[in-house]
Homo-oligomer: A and B are copies of this chain.
Amino acid sequence: MYPNFLAHIKKLISLNAEEEELLLSGIKTLNVKKKDFLLKEGQVCKANYFVEQGLIRMYFINEKGIEQVTQFALENWWIADYMSLTTQGSSHFYIQAVENSTIIAIEHHKQEKLLEKIPQLERYFRLMMQRAYAAAQMRVKFFHVHTKEENYRHFISMFPQFVQRIPQYMLASYLGLTPEYLSELRKKQP
């Protein structure tokens, strides 16, 4: 049960049997179906979500009514609107399953309690946040370097297996271009 979740934590910190039980008592497992939502715009982000299995995306809807994908989360990644989670203010994002997925959810107040009782968890989450922020830094660079065409080609060469798990229009949105233009690029050179 939760093979990825516990293994992922234990790779970074050690937990005794009691702590492990405490941790497991504070989480919820969610089996979400493709297109189910973990968060919608206007709601408060209630939990920090770990992708045990599956694929999740985060997006928002811009003023023209078009979905803009801002990030994906694969197995072993955490996802949440951390601004909303931290301040408990209402979110500007949607978080939705791209595939049927198994999610471990830690609600905000439960996470606070767990952090008090298992101080090592602060370290684990610091490392996770640092990893996520480091990835965000690299991503900002990535999107600045090239033209959109170059970004696209670079992306599919870096993550070929991942690209096959998402529809093209989501990839287009994530890369900041229109589905039509992406289609044109593929015609030019698949």
Q: Which residues of A are in contact with B by a Cβ distance under 8 Å?
A: 58, 60, 62-63, 68, 70-71, 81-83, 86, 92-93, 115, 119, 122-123, 125-126, 129-141, 144-145, 176
| Set B60, B62, B82, B122: member contacting A133, Cβ < 8 A | B82
User: Can you list 9 A-B contacts with CB-CB less than 8 angstroms, sorted by A residue number?
Assistant: A71-B137, A81-B134, A81-B137, A82-B137, A83-B134, A119-B122, A125-B130, A126-B126, A136-B140
**Is the Cβ of A92 less than 8 Å from the Cβ of B129?**
no
What residues on B are CB-neighbors of A71 within 8 Å?
Answer: 137, 140
* Least CB separation from A126: chain B residue: B126
Cα separation A129 to B134 with both chains bound (whole Å)? 10
Tell me the interface secondary structure of chain A in the complex: helix
Identical subunits present: 2
By a CB distance below 8 angstroms, the chain B residues around A134 are: 81-83, 86
Are B129 and A62 in contact (CB-based, < 8 A)?
no
Distance in angstroms from A41 CB to nearest chain B CB is 11
Question: Which residue of B81, B86, B122, B140 is within 8 Å of A131 (Cβ)?
Answer: B86
- B contact residues around A137 at 8 Å (CB): 58, 70-71, 81-83, 93, 136
Q: A63, A83, A125, A133 — which one has the most chain B CB atoms within 10 A of its CB?
A: A133
Our pick among B58, B135, B141 for the contact of A60 (Cβ within 8 Å) is B141
A68-B126 in contact given A137-B81, A137-B82 (Cβ < 8 Å): no
Q: A70-B144, A144-B176 are in contact. Are A130 and B129 (CB under 8 A)?
A: yes
